[in-house]
Amino acid sequence: MLGPCADADALLATVPAPREPLMRTAVASVRIELDEVRGLGQLGRLRPALARARTALAVAETTGYRPLLAEATLAVGDLEQDLALPTGPATLRRALHLATATGDPGVMAASAAAVLGAMANRGLPYPQALEVAELALAQAERTPPPPLEQTKLLVSVGLIHDGNGRATVAQEYYQRALAVARAGAHDHEAVFGSLLTQIGNNAKARGAFFEARTALEQALASDERVYGPGHPQLASSLNNLANVARAEGKFEQARAMSDRALAIRLAAYGPDHPEVGTSYLNLGVLAGEEGDDVAARAAYEKALAIWERAYGPDNPELFRPLNNLCILGTHADELEAAKAACERAVHVLEAGRGKDHVDLAGPLSGLANIADAQGRPDDAVALGRRAIALTEAAYGLDHPDLFDYLGNLASVLRTQGKLDEAEATMARAMAIAAKAYGPDDLRIGMGMNNLSGLQATRGRWGDALASAQRALAIFTTQAGPQHPYASYAHLRVGSALASLGRPAEAAQHGERALAIRTAAGMPARARAETQFALAQWLHAARQDRRRVRSLLADAVATYRAEGDGENAAEVSAWARRARVR
C-alpha cells in the first residue's frame, strides 16, 4: 500500500551531503543503521527496530546535520506509530519541522505525508488534521516537490478525508494524485498500484462495488508484476479484494483470497507478525458473516494473541480484535464474554488515548447493545449517546459512523416506547448516509429496512410496506437479488403484506427469503425464522397445508438443535392455536 512513510534515502537524495570526511562517515554509518532498522520493521520486529532507531537518532543528533536528523526522527516516528505509542504523532511532527528546516520540498512533502498518515490512523480530530493538510498543500503549491512525494502527499490528504467520512472529497485527491503520477512520467509502477488500491477502497466505501473491484484487480495485477507472487504486498491487495467480495455476498471468493493472503504473510513473516494478526481479523469477520461463530471467535482470539505479543497487553490497538469479540458475543448471545471484551477495549483506549478519544465510540456502542439485550435500556441509551457525542466531537455532526450509532439508539428508543424520538433518530441516520454515500447506498437500504420495522410497530403498515420495498430495491440493485441483505427486506415486505390482508403475496416473498438464506448458507436460526414466517403466511392464504406442516416441523427441529427451546415452544404453540396437524 502506498503509505505516508517514504523511503528516507530516496527522499533525501537531493540534499547535499556534508563536506567534512568525518561527518560524511558518521552520516553514512547512521544511514546504514537505519537501513537495518527498516529491515527489522518489515520482519515485524518492531520493538527491537525502535530501540535501534532511537540509538541511531541519538547519534544523528551529535552530528547536527538536519537532513539526517529528519530521516532518523521520521524512522523513530514511523515505528512509534506502528506500535501505536502515544509519542508517535509528536515525533512525526518533529520530523516535519526538521524537514522544513532543510528547505527541501521533497523532504517536507514526505514528512507532512507521514504526519497526516499518523493522524488518519489514530483518528485525531478532523479540524486538526485538516489544518495540517491545508498547510502542507499550500507549501507544496509554493514550492512543488518531486512528483513521487507530491503524489504521496495528495494520497495522505485523501486518507484524512476518507477517515472522516468525506469519501467524495477523498476521491478527488486520489484522482489528483493519479494525474500527478502520470504527468511525472516516473517508472514507479508500485506507485500506480498503490493509488489504484486507494481508489478501489474509496469506491468500496461509497458502495460502488464494480468500480472498487475493477481498480483493486488492476492493483493486484500491478503488485504481482512489481513484487512477485509471494510478496506480502500481495496479501494486502488480496484482502482488499476479499472485502469487496464479502460486501457483495460472494463468500467463497472472499475466503479463497483471504486464505491466500494469510498463507503469503505466514510464509513471509512467520506466525507472530502483526500483519498475520490482521489476516486473522479479516477471516474472523468473514466467518461471522457466514454464520460460523466458532471459527470467527477462534480467528479473533488468534489476532488478539499475536497483537498482544507484538504490541503489549495494554496497547490501545488491541481494541480492534476486542471490539470484534464484543460484537460476536452479542450476536451469539454470549453477553458476559462480550461485555468483558468491550470493557477491556474501553480500558486500553482510555488508558492509552484518553477518555475522549473517538475510537471509544465502537466499544461503547457495543456495551450499549449488550445493556439493551440484558434489559437495561436506560444504560443502553446513556452509552449510545456517549458514543454519538464522541463521534460528533471528533468528526462533526454528519460523519457516516453516526449511522450505526444512531440506528442502534433508535432501536433502544423503540424498545422504550419512545417511537417519535426513535423515528426522528432513524431519519437523521439515513440523512447522514445519503449525504455521504448517495440515496441508493446499501446503508440507506439497511436504514429503510429498520424504519419499516419501526413503522410496523406503530401500525402504519402502508408506510412499512413502502419502506421495505425501497430497501429491497436498493439491495437488489446494489448487491444483487441473491445477496443475504435481500432476504431481510423480503421478510419485511412479506410481514407488511400479510398485515394488510395479502398473505398470498407475502408468501411469495417468504419463499424468496428462504431460498436466498438456504443458498447463502446463512445460520440455521435465520432459516428457521424464515420457515416460521412463511408457514404462517401460507396458512393464512390457505395454501399447501402439507408444506405448512413441513416448514413448522423443520423450524422446531432447528431451534431445538440450536438449543433455543423458547423459539421452538413458540412455533409449536402457534401450530396448536392454528390447528395445524
pLDDT tens for 139-160 read: 888 888 888 888 888 988 988 8
**Least confident stretch, 150-154, 176-180, 207-211:** 207-211
Q: Report DSSP letters for 321-372, one per residue.
A: HHHHHHHHHHHTT-HHHHHHHHHHHHHHHHHHH-TT-GGGHHHHHHHHHHHH
**pLDDT, tens digit, 9 for 90 and up, residues 303-323:** 999 999 988 899 888 999 999
- Mean pLDDT over 358-386 rounds to 95
Whether pLDDT at 251 is above 60: yes
Q: Is 462 helix (H, G, I), strand (E, B) or coil?
A: helix
- Mean pLDDT over 536-559 rounds to 95
pLDDT band at 4 (very low <50, low <70, confident <90, very high): very low
Whether pLDDT at 276 is above 80: yes
Most confident of 57-71, 321-335, 527-541: 527-541
Residue 148 or residue 535, greater confidence = 535
Nearest to 119 by CA among 91, 140, 93, 89: 89
CB 64 within 8 A of CB 90: no
Torsions phi, psi of 408, nearest 5?
Answer: -65, -40
b/e per residue 553-567 (b: at least 16 CB within 10 A) = bbbbebbbeeebeeb
Residue 39 or residue 365, greater confidence = 365
Reported as type and span, the H/E element at residue 228 is none
pLDDT band at 100 (very low <50, low <70, confident <90, very high): confident
* Positive or negative: CA dihedral 74, 79, 82, 87: negative
pLDDT of residue 121: 66
- Mean pLDDT over 95-103 rounds to 80
Mean pLDDT for the chain overall: 88
pLDDT of residue 303: 96
Give the span between the Cα atoms of 115 and 74, in whole angstroms.
9
**Least confident stretch, 23-32, 84-93, 179-188, 221-230:** 179-188
pLDDT band at 45 (very low <50, low <70, confident <90, very high): confident
Alpha carbon distances (Å) from 392 to 58, 342, 349, 397, 399: 41, 21, 18, 5, 7
pTM assigned to the model? 0.73
CB 94 within 8 A of CB 73: yes
- Mean pLDDT over 225-243 rounds to 89
pLDDT of residue 423: 94
Whether pLDDT at 189 is above 60: yes
Whether pLDDT at 552 is above 70: yes
CB 464 within 8 A of CB 492: yes
**pLDDT, tens digit, 9 for 90 and up, residues 397-420:** 888 889 999 999 999 999 999 999
Whether pLDDT at 124 is above 70: no
Q: Which cell numbers hold the place of 323?
A: 471490539
Q: Which cell numbers hold the place of 25?
A: 562517515
- HSE, CB side, 13 Å, CA atoms: give it for residue 177: 30
Which single residue is written with the C-alpha cell 488480496?
Answer: 238
- Beta-carbon contacts of 107 under 8 Å, excluding residues fewer than 6 positions away, are 11, 12, 15, 67, 70, 99
pLDDT of residue 1: 32
**pLDDT, tens digit, 9 for 90 and up, residues 469-497:** 999 999 999 889 999 999 999 999 999 99
pLDDT band at 63 (very low <50, low <70, confident <90, very high): confident
